[in-house]
Structure 1
Amino acid sequence: MPIRFEWYENPTTPDQEEEIKHYHARPTLNGRVDTTQLAQQIQGRCSLTKVDVAAVLDALSAVVAEHLQEGKRVHLDGLGYFHISLAVDGEVEAQTKRRNTKVRMK
């Protein structure tokens, strides 16, 4: 199945005087699927009941979250890698006071 995407122009800073524009691809999101829907679909493909599948997905979520909180990267075969991403609110310099309070999870 092909991945749907759109092209977006890369932002430039005022000091860049390039005449050639560069682009990057972003996936086009098409809706949302929740745990209940996943459990129903998985039930149709195996011998587990919807309740059993929901319990496994709930346990998986909890265990993955524990490993992520420990700073580990989690790999689920066929699904991908998961890791914590951080962002910083505002500008942080060496002399910034309480700079740890400006870090948050993305």
Structure 2
Amino acid sequence: MPIKFDLFENPEREGVEVPEFHAKVITKGLETTRTLRESIQKKCTVTASDVEAVLTALGDEMFEAFSNGYSVYLHGIGYFSLSLKCSPDINLNNISSSDIKVKGIRFQPDKELSRRLSNVEFVHMKNSGRHSSKMNLSEITEKIEKYFTDNQILRRPDFEKLTGFNKSKSIRTLKLLVEEGMLKNIGTMRMPIYVLR
């Protein structure tokens, strides 16, 4: 069965006049442990509860490996490794364990899995619910000014409803509006609250 995808316009870049696009999978849903164990049970001699036990043990073993500074390789699946982060203003002369946090887990597919995926088919499906609306800066400004006639503050979800932009485009646009001097963030970096300047 072909994988459904849609094309999304990249954020505008200085000096690039022709729009550039990137493709994203239109995800059908989520395969859970329950659905995977039942599917595996139908394809081989292990029971669903055996699969559950192995997956639980695998999660525990991966945690142990990561905790001891190892990456993990699963044949036919790929490589897993920790990604770290630290505060940008870290003191290089006094670094402690508490200064470092786990950012996430990187995954690099096995060559065999990549090879198998190179043969899948794709079908273009327009998914209007995931696209941001198109609006120029003067239209955005007009909507914001009208919004503030009835409201004291603006949050990102309010801006998304106001403009029809998705989350990432809203974040970029709000940042631009702050830089341009139209809006001011009176909240925090993580929880911004905007007011008119």
Under a length normalisation based on structure 1, what TM-score does the superposition of the two structures give? 0.67
Between the two proteins, the alignment pairs up a number of residues equal to: 99
Shift of 1:17: 3.1
**What is aligned with 2:37?**
39
Candidates 46, 50, 53, aligned match of 2:51: 53
Q: 1:2 to 1:85 in 2, by over 3 A?
A: farther
Distance in structure 1 (CA, Å) of the matches to 2:69 and 2:8:
32
- 8 Å CA contact 2:84–2:103 kept in 1: the answer is yes
Counterparts of 1:2 and 1:49, CA distance in 2: 29
Q: Does 1:3 align with 2:3?
A: yes
- Separation of aligned partners in 1, 2:60 and 2:15: 49
Given that 2:90 and 2:99 are in contact with CA atoms closer than 8 Å, whether structure 1 keeps it comes out as: no
| d(CA) in 2 for partners of 1:68, 1:29 | 29
How far residue 26 of structure 1 moved from its aligned partner, in angstroms, is 1.7
**Greater share of helix residues, 1 or 2?**
2
- In the TM superposition, structure 1's runs of 4+ consecutive aligned residues that sit over 6 Å from their partners are none
Q: Per the alignment, in what secondary structure is the counterpart of residue 23 of structure 2?
A: strand
RCO higher in 1 or 2 (8 Å CA, sep ≥ 6)? Answer: 2
Deviation at 1:31, TM superposition (A): 0.5
How far does residue 70 in structure 1 lie from its aligned partner after superposition? 4.3
Q: Secondary structure at the match of 1:4?
A: strand
Q: Which runs of 5+ in 1 are unaligned?
A: none
Q: 2 CA distance for matches of 1:2 and 1:88?
A: 41
Q: Judging changes above 3 Å, is the alpha-carbon distance between structure 1 residues 9 and 71 closer, same or farther for their aligned structure 2 residues?
A: farther
Q: Which amino acid counterpart does residue 74 of structure 1 have in structure 2?
A: V
Identity value in percent: 35
Counterpart for residue 190 of structure 2: none
Pairing 1:62–2:60 present: yes
| Structure 2 counterpart of 1:84 | 82
* Of 18, 21, 31, the match for 2:19: 21
TM, length-normalised to structure 2: 0.41
**Corresponding residue SS for 2:30:** coil
Separation of aligned partners in 2, 1:58 and 1:73: 18
Aligned-residue Cα RMSD (Å) equals 2.9
The more displaced of 47-56 and 61-70 is: 61-70
